[in-house]
Amino acid sequence: MSKQKNLKVQLKEFEAGKYEAPDFKTQCAAGWYDWFCKDKSLANKTKTLFSALKSFLKVVPVDLTTRYVFFKNNCPAGWGGLYDDFRICDLKSGDVIWTVSPRKPDGEGGFVYSVWGAENDFNEAIIEGTRSQVFDFFRNRKNQE
């Protein structure tokens, strides 16, 4: 197994088009860890999730050299449909710091932007709402520090 790349490298490779091919090997290199959808769906999901990641990183400060990202396609038991998330992890320990789902089913037929984190041991979402509400939450929190 190759050494995990940091976020700085992952983002650079994404921008260079390295993850565009829909084949299994390319999409695993892009960061896919687990999925319930068809393999051929991953390339489009990769584009969407990298775009969401880049937006998230503009609002939430993350050290790109000591963190990495992986992607997951989730299949909730008993409710909702498949949904995707990205997980920002510590490069050294592998521990997940943030789990971010830009479009998580809310259980009532709609969707929310959802952020879970190590700061509360993933016991509940740190924030859920529209993308604007989530980003405003982090901007306000940053301004209060």
The DSSP string of 26-61 is HHHHHTEEE-SS-GGGHHHHHHHHHHHHHHHHHHS-
Residue 116 lies in a domain: yes
Domain assignment present for residue 1? The answer is no
- Output 16-19 pairs: Cβ under 8 A, ≥24 positions apart: 19/43, 19/46, 19/50
Q: Quick check: is 106 in a domain?
A: yes
pLDDT digits (tens, 9 = 90+) for 8-66: 999 999 999 999 999 999 999 999 998 888 888 999 999 999 999 999 999 999 999 99
Q: In which residue are the tokens 């997980």 written?
A: 87
23 lies in a domain?
A: yes
Domain that holds residue 117: 7-144
Tell me the pTM.
Answer: 0.90
Structural domain count, the chain: 1
| Residue 126 in domain | yes
CA distance to 42, 85, 111, 121, 126, per residue, from 48 (Å): 10, 10, 16, 27, 22
> Within a domain: residue 2?
no
